Amino acid sequence: MNIKQISYDLLNCLENKKYSELLSKTITDVTIENAYEISSMINSLRTAKGEILSGIKIGFTNKSLWEQYNVDTPIFGIMYDTTIKMNNAKLNINKYLEPKIEPEIYFKFSKTPSSKMSDYELLACCSSFGIGIEIVNSIYKDWKFSVSDAIAGFGLHAEYSCLMEISLAKYKDKVKDLSENLSKFSVSLMRDGLLLEKGHSSNILAKGPIEALRRYVSFCEQFMPDWLLLNKPITTGTITNAHDICEGERYTLKFEGLYIQELEEKTLGPIVV
């Protein structure tokens, strides 16, 4: 298996908006380990071009989507300075094949965590958490792929918009309460003023976004220690289904049950695509 050539070919598909053949169809017995080798090689190629590794996305944490997408485990992918948008900058969906939108929670670690920590202890290792929208895309036609294909295909990541970041310093005496609330909140995703879907935090690995964070830490401890990042966003997967998007649409988010001052009675957005 020529990891470097495969990586070049996949990157060419992303950059030129072209579909790729499924690795799982063209390579006999391609494994998840092979897919992460390809992902690491793609990272080397992108950083050689000047892009900067700036975060990690966790995908397929919403277990209600596993049957639909023929997967059975979360996946991890790299985000770059070129793919993370701040201050609600316009998302460039026309660059991507079959783009979809996902509302997500992200965290930033300020201290090295352990996967054996409790939810409270993991959150105490974070300096902040935030609300974001991920644009995902598939270089495989009709979103048909295996887990290995999805990992090698950039973890399906296209762009990530950080809508609001909340410092945990002011909540240091309420971290335990917040860790509990993060397991039972809901978010309403609105498109052009109409409710598209109301998702619940329990969709994420049946426990909430901190459980996704724990899976990420465990993955890094076992397989990719260099991917355990401090002071960079770690997304935790979509709270709703992944929804098709078209240019010109406007999206807003409304959260319930987090009991955070910055989010009370507030609608986030509009996110313009």
Ranges of residues in the chain with a pLDDT under 50 are: none
pLDDT of residue 273: 86
CA angle 119, 122, 128 (to 5 degrees): 115
pLDDT of residue 219: 98
Q: Nearest to residue 91, comparing CAs of 133, 138, 46, 143?
A: 133
pLDDT digits (tens, 9 = 90+) for 128-166: 999 999 999 999 999 999 999 999 999 999 999 999 999
Helices 32-48, 3-16: inter-axial angle, 10-degree rounding: 60
pLDDT of residue 217: 98
Give the number of C-alpha atoms closer than 13 A to the C-alpha of residue 156, restricted to the C-beta side.
31
| Residue 187 parent element (H or E) | strand 186-191
On whether the CB atoms of residues 70 and 161 are closer than 8 A, the answer is no
Domain residue extents for the chain: 3-272
pLDDT of residue 163: 94
Task: For residue 231, count other CB atoms closer than 10 A to its CB.
Answer: 9
pLDDT of residue 87: 77
| Rounded CA separation 45/29 (Å) | 25
Sort 173 into a burial class: Cβ within 10 Å, 0-12 / 13-18 / 19+.
exposed
pTM of the model: 0.96
Q: Nearest to residue 109, comparing CAs of 218, 208, 222, 213?
A: 213
3-state secondary structure of 120: helix
pLDDT of residue 266: 82
pLDDT digits (tens, 9 = 90+) for 16-48: 999 999 999 998 889 999 999 999 999 999 999
Choices 3.40.50.720, 3.20.20.80, 3.30.43.10, 3.90.850.10: CATH for 3-272: 3.90.850.10
